[in-house]
């Protein structure tokens, strides 16, 4: 089996590439390196012993993308490539619609042209927005409240309408909060500039690169007053993609799954666990709520467990230990 992975040098794409290669699947990576580094290809090879095919290609260029499909006999696509910063999407909405929506249209066009009939799409808990009841089930109303979340919802619509019209198979995975890194410490999340997500921020405080964490809100209706989220190890998430491909071996139609642990952890829980993993004190200050944040967000992932035979396995302690190993071994990311 040969799988095209768009965004394959990114955080989740690189871990998924490792997972697939370790199962003997041929991987072809397409990435324009707008938010990742070529070094990731070397690291994937170091972990797996196999060098994936790599194309430095922008999926928004239909002709370039078609050339990859011409060169490689692709069986399935896992579509990660997207821009993902919520704050940047508010500042530059057109960039986000252009990249995430046009990119997805082109991926679907290429699949139609080259008769590829299976796709796994990266979606996000961001599609639920502020309205859902926890634990969130897949049928909760979709009400994204920022341009990024709206591009994810539009990607879902494009892929499902297209899959239905062409009678092919699509699995849409809505990830909750992916954190951690491959246990080798060779690949991990490498945010450019100051991180906006909690885990890379905590990890840079532990490493002494940032002075202290600002805890956004301490008066939420949660057990300790800080925000509660559903954190999931990126390697568990990567395994979910393998299970999605297996699902598509014998099924057509559109299948949508929440991919989370089903458990909520507060910001203070995460600080405590990271301190344990790193043996370092995490300096923090209680601060104002971040606009647009919800008090709590965690998944009901029972459908994925039932239909994909997938379940998150790693504990928060392991997520923090792996994140810290990655941070320690690569203080300057992939440089
Ligand atoms: P990432 O930025 O690390 O990876 C995305 C990759 O796509 C990058 O390597 C980037 O260079 C590439 N890319 C972007 N636009 C491209 C284009 N036009 N052409 C070719 N390559 C392009 O992000 P990630 O965290 O690995 O996220 C992967 C996917 O998962 C995204 O679709 C994101 O929306 C989704 N997602 C991420 C999270 C999260 O918290 N990390 C949560 C939910 C959903
Ligand atoms: C987690 C918790 C913050 C930073 C976003 C997207 C979601 C998905 C994952 C892409 C919250 C608190 C954070 C800090 C803090 N991405 N926090 N200080 O907002 O749950 O989810 O990323 O699809 O769609 O919405 O993740 O890591 O930013 O925040 O106190 O410096 O940590 O308030 O409670 P979030 P996060």
What are the pLDDT tens digits along the chain (335 aa)?
999 999 999 999 999 999 999 999 999 999 999 999 999 999 999 999 999 999 999 999 999 999 999 999 999 999 999 999 999 999 999 999 999 999 999 999 999 999 999 999 999 999 998 776 899 999 999 999 899 999 999 999 999 999 999 999 999 999 999 999 999 999 999 998 899 999 999 999 999 999 999 999 999 999 999 999 999 999 999 999 999 999 999 999 999 999 999 999 999 999 999 999 999 999 999 999 998 899 999 999 999 999 999 999 999 999 999 999 999 999 999 98
Any catalytic annotation for residue 148?
Answer: yes
Q: Which residue has the tokens 């071996």?
A: 249
Separation of alpha carbons 335 and 329, rounded Å: 12
Q: Give the number of residues written for the chain.
A: 335
188 lines ligand 1 (CB under 6 A): no
Note the pLDDT of residue 105: 98
Tokens 């297209």 belong to 162
Per-residue pLDDT, 240: 98
pLDDT at 130: 79
Ligand 2 pocket residue status of 214, Cβ below 6 Å = yes
For 297, the 3-state DSSP assignment is strand
Q: Are 188 and 182 in contact (CB under 8 A)?
A: yes
CB distance 59 to ligand 1 below 6 Å: yes
- Rg (C-alpha) for the chain, rounded Å, is 19
Q: Are 270 and 263 in contact (CB under 8 A)?
A: no
Please indicate whether residue 201, judged by its CB atom, sits closer than 6 Å to ligand 2.
yes
Cα(286) to centroid(ligand 1), Å? 30
Tell me, using a 6 A CB cutoff, whether residue 128 lines ligand 1: no
268 in contact with ligand 2, CB cutoff 6 A: no
Which residue in the list 148, 175, 257, 298 is annotated as catalytic? 148
Ligand 2 centroid from CA 270, angstroms? 12
For a ligand 1 pocket test, name from 35, 54, 85 the mutation site with the most ligand atoms within 8 angstroms of its C-beta: 35
Question: d(Cα 124, Cα 144) in Å, to the nearest integer?
Answer: 10
Q: How far is CA 192 from CA 85, 122, 159, 169, 249, in A?
A: 11, 21, 29, 35, 37
Query: What are the angstrom distances between the C-alpha of 7 and each of 14, 16, 49, 204?
Result: 8, 10, 21, 24
Place of tokens 């309408």: 161
Closest Cα to atom 23, ligand 2: which residue?
A: 124
Residue nearest ligand 2's atom 7 by CA = 126
Q: How far apart are CA 13 and CA 243, in angstroms?
A: 15
pLDDT value of residue 335? 86
pLDDT at 111: 98
How far are the Cα atoms of 59, 199, 236 from residue 302, in angstroms, in the given order?
Answer: 33, 25, 15
């Amino acid at each position: 089996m040969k799988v095209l992975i768009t965004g394959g040098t990114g955080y989740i794409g690189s871990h998924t590439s490792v997972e697939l290669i370790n199962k003997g699947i041929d991987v072809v990576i397409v990435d324009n390196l707008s938010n990742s580094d070529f070094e990731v290809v070397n690291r994937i090879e170091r972990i797996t012993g196999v060098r994936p095919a790599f194309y430095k290609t922008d999926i928004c260029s239909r002709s370039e993308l078609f050339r990859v499909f011409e060169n490689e006999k692709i069986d399935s696509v896992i579509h990660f490539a997207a821009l993902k910063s919520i704050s940047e999407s508010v500042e530059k909405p057109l960039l986000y619609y252009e990249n995430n929506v046009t990119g997805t249209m082109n991926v679907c066009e290429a699949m139609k042209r080259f008769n590829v009939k299976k796709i796994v799409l990266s979606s996000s808990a961001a599609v639920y927005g502020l309205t859902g009841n926890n634990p969130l089930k897949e049928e909760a109303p979709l009400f994204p409240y920022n341009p990024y979340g709206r591009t994810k919802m539009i990607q879902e619509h494009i892929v499902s309408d297209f899959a239905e019209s062409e009678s092919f198979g699509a699995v849409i995975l809505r990830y909750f909060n992916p954190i951690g890194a491959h246990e080798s410490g060779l690949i991990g999340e490498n945010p450019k500039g100051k991180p906006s997500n909690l885990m890379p921020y905590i990890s840079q405080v532990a490493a002494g690169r940032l002075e202290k964490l600002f805890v956004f809100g301490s008066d939420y209706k949660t057990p300790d007053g800080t925000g509660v989220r559903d954190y999931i190890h990126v390697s568990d998430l990567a395994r979910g993609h393998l299970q999605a491909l297996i699902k598509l071996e014998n099924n057509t139609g559109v299948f949508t799954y929440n991919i989370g642990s089903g458990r909520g952890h507060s910001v203070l829980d995460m600080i405590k666990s990271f301190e344990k993993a790193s043996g370092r004190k995490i300096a923090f200050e209680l601060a104002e709520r971040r606009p647009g944040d919800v008090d709590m967000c965690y998944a009901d992932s029972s459908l994925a467990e039932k239909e994909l035979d997938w379940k998150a396995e790693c504990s928060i302690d392991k997520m923090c230990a792996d994140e810290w190993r990655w941070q320690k071994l690569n203080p300057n990311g992939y440089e």
